[in-house]
């Protein structure tokens, strides 16, 4: 669960960086921050979903 929360924090920071770099018109950084946002966001949501679900 701690891994999912840590990755979610990183994804939030990547989202902030994406918005900041769009304002600066640095599209190379927008690409890297955007891809990082998507990847870390997906893995964090799936980690929290899978580890937070009770086993039946």
Please tell me the distance from the alpha carbon of residue 20 to that of residue 30, in angstroms, as a whole number: 9
Task: From first to last of the 56 residues of the chain, give the pLDDT tens digit.
Answer: 788 899 999 999 999 999 999 999 999 999 999 999 999 999 999 998 888 766 66
Please tell me the distance from the alpha carbon of residue 24 to that of residue 38, in angstroms, as a whole number: 20
The answer to whether the pTM exceeds 0.75 is yes
Please tell me the distance from the alpha carbon of residue 53 to that of residue 2, in angstroms, as a whole number: 15
Q: Give 55's DSSP letter.
A: P
Residue ranges per structural domain of the chain = 2-51
Q: Do the beta carbons of residue 36 and residue 9 sit within 8 Å?
A: no
Q: Do the beta carbons of residue 43 and residue 7 sit within 8 Å?
A: yes
**Token output for 11:** 């994804």
């Amino acid at each position: 669960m701690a891994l999912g929360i840590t990755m979610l924090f990183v994804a939030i920071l990547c989202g902030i960086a994406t918005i900041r770099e769009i304002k600066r018109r640095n599209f190379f950084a927008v690409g890297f921050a955007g891809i990082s946002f998507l990847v870390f966001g997906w893995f964090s949501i799936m980690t929290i979903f899978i580890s937070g679900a009770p086993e039946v």
